Every structure is written in C-alpha cells, then in structure tokens.
Amino acid sequence: MKFKKLLAILMVASSLTVLASSPSAFASDYGTTSVGVGDTQAQALDLIPGVSFTHFLSSPTDEDWFKYTNKSGKFQQLNTHVQPNNGESNFRFGFKYKYRTASNYDYESDMVYAGFLNSYSAQLIQAIIPPGATAYFKVDSTKFGGSQYTIGLHSSDL
C-alpha cells in the first residue's frame, strides 16, 4: 500500500514539474481559466516540497494563495521562495500560519511579508511551524505588469 501511495505522489510531482518547467506552455494552457483559482485563503493551492510552480497574477487586484500542512508530527523548517520571471511586476510575498494548540485553541498568525530588493530578485521566507500547522503564502503585486512568477517550497524536520 505504501508503494502505491509513493508512486501516486511521484506521478503527481513529476506532472507538476513538467508544467512548471515550461512557463509559456503553462500560461497558454491555463490563461484566463486560472482566474479565480487560489484567489483566497480558503481556496489556497497546495505546495509540494521540492516542486516549483509557475503562475501569474491576472489583474492589479489579483492575489494568489498557496498552503502547506505539516503532517510530519515534528516541527518543520520551511524555505519558500517567489522568483519573478521578468522585471515588469513587483510581487509581494506574504506568510501566515494557523494551527490548533494543545488546549484546543485555534491560533492564526498575522500576515508577515518578505523583504523586497528589486523587481528581479527572489523573495525568501524561512519559517518554523509546529506539527499539524498549515502555512499560507500569498502573492500579490504592488506594481502590476502581468508577468509570471515561480514559487517553490522546501521543508525539513527539526
């Protein structure tokens, strides 16, 4: 059973890798159909550790949400980045997390934004999240240019 589950995960990861490795194909395949996908925290798209995902903002007010849930049973360090694919947009990259405490209190942090160097630089968020927590990542733009960006996540148990 574990082998089948691992095989299914690898198939999904390799499919996403193929999509992410061809930004122009991704944009043409999903174009306007991706409007409304991942536009709120409740609709956040799952990030898979080790897999980069290329996406774009469709309007000046668009925001894209992504999430990752720590199911390891241990604290995890997350290294997450957003890299613009050209310099025509200034992307803003935010992070927050939520989890249920041992005393059954639902906690949700405030949004924290990564530092911004210039329109060509990657933005990196490094965070430690507790077991069972879900990390949310938001990408929006302070200067809309219609360009694509790549987001990726790496996680490691502590």
Residues 121-140: pLDDT tens digits?
667 889 999 999 999 999 98
CA–CA distance, 78 with 57 (Å, rounded to integer) = 24
Residues 65-107: pLDDT tens digits?
999 999 999 999 999 988 888 766 678 899 999 999 889 999 9
Q: Which helix (H) or strand (E) holds 126?
A: strand 123-129
Q: Are the C-beta atoms of residues 149 and 26 closer than 8 Å to each other? A: no
Strand, coil or helix: what is 41?
Answer: helix
Maximum Cα–Cα distance for the chain, whole Å?
48
Structural domains for the chain:
2-157 (2.60.120.380)
Phi, psi of 108 (to 5 degrees): -135, 125
Give residue 116's pLDDT band: very low, low, confident or very high (50, 70, 90).
low
Q: Which residue has the tokens 């200067």?
A: 143
Decide: residue 68, CB within 10 A, 0-12 exposed, 13-18 middle, 19+ buried: buried
